Structure 1
Amino acid sequence: MPLVANARMYSATPAVRDAWKVLLRWVLARAGLAWEVIDYDAPAPLSALWARDDLGLAMMCGLPFAQRGVRPTLVAAPIPSPARYGGRPVYFTDMVVRADSAFERLEDTFGGTVGYTLADSMSGGVAFRDHLAPYREREGTRLYARAVGNLIHARGVIEALAAGRIDVGPLDSYYHDLLRHDEPALAAQVRVVASTGAMPIPPLVATAALAPEDLQRLRQALADVAKAPDLKPVRERLLLAGFASADPAAYDALAAMARRPVPSFEEL
């Protein structure tokens, strides 16, 4: 069965998507693997992509990775290059408001409308809800008058904020940084008022069974990305320092967070 590769999860703009495709093709060529780099654009659901059994190298949200009974093979994890990541394969959830709003702190948004992407999304739902839960417990009453869900992705959050449909919403920090770098006019419509702590970043995984020698060559090719001179423009476009080996057990914390009994957004 021919295997495929894809980086839809962090294809924040068309130019970023194309850069990921260049990088994946370089990696596969260096590893000597004749796999196809496929397109899988929005609004096609990521859950359907991750359910495929022919993925040789694809980005997957850390939460479904951690929740699977039989986990995919964790190949490597990206290391974003901006300073806030500290050279680690981590990311955050940024809580954002409309740029011209009067809100200065997350607490200033209480009483308004909270937005989220999907309830089972790590950065767009679970991590945001978990961050809000202590405020809800401390206040002893609902934090928000209304919740708007199913915003799907970061662009949906930004569009809802710009239209005044919500007062605050979550963005995956790496996706947010890619937008700020490559599509600044869109990103400038919002600003950050709070962020979660660091979490293990969505990794590159294989749902297909890989031969040990193929996996070794693939991991070496990904490690070589950081120093490859011909990939410098691609790394700059992707705000990417390189790739790190990652411990699958690090993602257990995400599944544990999702299991915590915290209120739904409609109850926050």
Structure 2
Amino acid sequence: MARVANARMYSANASVRADWKTLLAWVLARAELGWEVIDYDAPAPLSALWAREDLGLAMMCGLPFSQRTPRPTLVAAPVPSPARYGGRPVYFTDIVVRADAPYQRLEDTFGGVVGYTLADSMSGGVALANHLAPYSEAREARLYRKAVGNLIHARGVIEALAAGTIDVGPLDSYYHDLLRRNEPAFAQQVRIIASTEARPIPPLVATAALKPDELARLREALQASTKAPELHAVTERLLLAGFAVPDPADYDVLAQIARPDLPTFEEL
């Protein structure tokens, strides 16, 4: 079976997508794997990409990774370079409002309009719902007068905030940091008022079967990529400190967060 590679999940804009393609092509060449780095752009659903059986090296949200049976092979996970990640393969959900909004605390947004990307997205939906659930339980009433979903990705959340369609929404912190680094004028339309606790970052996975030596070569090439002089500018723009190989069981916590009794945004 021919296999493919893709980093759509963290292709925050056209230049970032090009950098990911450059890095993945370098990794595949070093690992001596003649796979294709494919495009898979929004609004094509990521769930359809992740359902493919020919993925050799693709970014996957940690929630479907933790829920899928059989579970894909975890190849590696990015370690973002900004200080808040502490040199670990983790990320947060940044809860953001429009830059000129009057809100100073998350509680100030209650009574307004909350937005989310997709209900089954960890960073764009589930993590925010989980963060808000205790507030909802304490108030014994709805937090927001309206919820707006299907914003697809972090860009959609920022666009909705800038347009005044929503008052508050979630951003995958690594995606957010990539925008702040590579498209600052766009990112500066919003500001963070809260962040969730750290969770395991979406990993690079394979849904296709990998031979042990292929997996080993991929991991070595990924770890070498952030030390290669010819990729220095690329990895700097991608805010990549390195790649780690977490225990797949680290992601079980994400399936636990997406519990059946978690309130929907229409209930929050």
Give the TM-score, by structure 1 length.
0.99
Q: 1:7-66: per-residue Cα shift (whole Å, max 9, x none)?
A: 000000111000000100110111111111111111111111111111100000000000
Q: Give the alignment of 1:91-240 within 5 angstroms.
A: 91-240=91-240
Q: 1:227-254: per-residue Cα shift (whole Å, max 9, x none)?
A: 1111110111101111001110000000
Q: What is the aligned partner in structure 2 of residue 34 from structure 1? A: 34
Q: What is the aligned partner in structure 1 of residue 6 from structure 2? A: 6
- What is the identity, as a one-letter code, of the residue corresponding to 2:33? L
| Corresponding position: 1:75 with 2:52 | no
- What is the identity, as a one-letter code, of the residue corresponding to 2:173? S
Identity %: 76
User: After the TM superposition, which segments of 4 or more aligned residues of structure 1 sit over 6 Å from their partners?
Assistant: none
Q: 1:92-124: per-residue Cα shift (whole Å, max 9, x none)?
A: 000000000100110000011111111100000
Distance 2:162 2:185 in 1: 12
Q: What is the aligned partner in structure 1 of residue 264 from structure 2? A: 264
1:56 partner SS: strand
1:64 partner SS: helix
Q: Which runs of 5+ in 1 are unaligned?
A: none
Distance 1:260 1:99 in 2: 34
2:258 partner SS: helix
Distance 1:213 1:248 in 2: 19
Distance 1:27 1:55 in 2: 15
Q: Shift of residue 226 of structure 1? A: 2.5
- What is the identity, as a one-letter code, of the residue corresponding to 2:81? S
Q: Shift of residue 139 of structure 1? A: 1.1
Q: Shift of residue 259 of structure 1? A: 1.3
Distance 2:122 2:5 in 1: 22
Distance 1:6 1:262 in 2: 31
- What is the identity, as a one-letter code, of the residue corresponding to 1:36? E
Q: What is the aligned partner in structure 2 of residue 63 from structure 1? A: 63
Q: Shift of residue 225 of structure 1? A: 1.7
Q: Shift of residue 260 of structure 1? A: 5.0
Give the TM-score, by structure 2 length.
0.99
Q: Which runs of 5+ in 2 are unaligned?
A: none
- What is the identity, as a one-letter code, of the residue corresponding to 2:248? P
Distance 1:165 1:101 in 2: 13
1:241 partner SS: strand
Q: Shift of residue 125 of structure 1? A: 0.4
Q: Shift of residue 262 of structure 1? A: 2.3
Distance 2:147 2:34 in 1: 46
- What is the identity, as a one-letter code, of the residue corresponding to 1:97? V
Q: 1:137-177: per-residue Cα shift (whole Å, max 9, x none)?
A: 11111111111111111111111111111100000000000
What is the number of equivalent residue pairs in this alignment? 268
